[in-house]
Amino acid sequence: MPVDSDERLREILEEETIAVVGLSSTPGKAAHDVPVYMREQGYEVIPVNPYAEEIFGRDPYDSLADVEEAVDIVDVFRPTDEVPGIVDEALGRDDAGTVWLQLGITHDEAGERVEGAGRNFVQDRCLKVEHQRLFE
């Protein structure tokens, strides 16, 4: 069952590094503005977008599997049909303790796989909204 308690959400949001799959280079899009907010709150945000040249002054990774830094949270801004592949990449990492699907994105089967691997799964919730609600 996806994480839904405020206590668990608060614990997850106390982590420091977020790989954002589908991070957009376009201001005004949620896939850009939410990561901007998270950076402003002190999080390390790692962009994952094979189509962008530069985001936040750095080269984005083509895939989650290519990310060299340690990752605490995998934040997903991609369509539902891409979630299983992203989960495969997240589960292939030793460090990604949480897979977080942004508002409007759900995938129960992928969530069961994440939870079966002993990791946290959050779906249909916005990082920014939850952070503001729990910490401001």
Question: What pLDDT is attached to residue 1?
Answer: 86
- Residue 90: φ, ψ to 5°: -65, -45
User: What is the overall mean pLDDT for the chain?
Assistant: 97
Q: What is the pLDDT of residues 8-62, one digit of tens each?
A: 999 999 999 999 999 999 999 999 999 999 999 999 999 999 999 999 999 999 9
Question: What pLDDT is attached to residue 11?
Answer: 97
pLDDT exceeding 90 applies to what percent of the chain? 99
Hey, what are 16's tokens?
Answer: 């420091």
- Is the Cα torsion angle 41, 79, 98, 70 positive or negative in sign? negative
Q: What is the pLDDT of residues 120-133, one digit of tens each?
A: 999 999 999 999 99
Domain boundaries, the chain: 6-135
54-81 average pLDDT score: 97
b/e map of 19-45 (b: 16 or more CB within 10 Å)? bbbbbbbeeeeebbebbebbeeeebeb
- Domain 6-135, second-level architecture: 3-Layer(aba) Sandwich (3.40)
Q: Which helix (H) or strand (E) segment is 109 a member of?
A: helix 108-116
Q: What is the pLDDT confidence band of residue 136, given thresholds at 50, 70 and 90?
A: confident
| pLDDT above 90 for 91 | yes
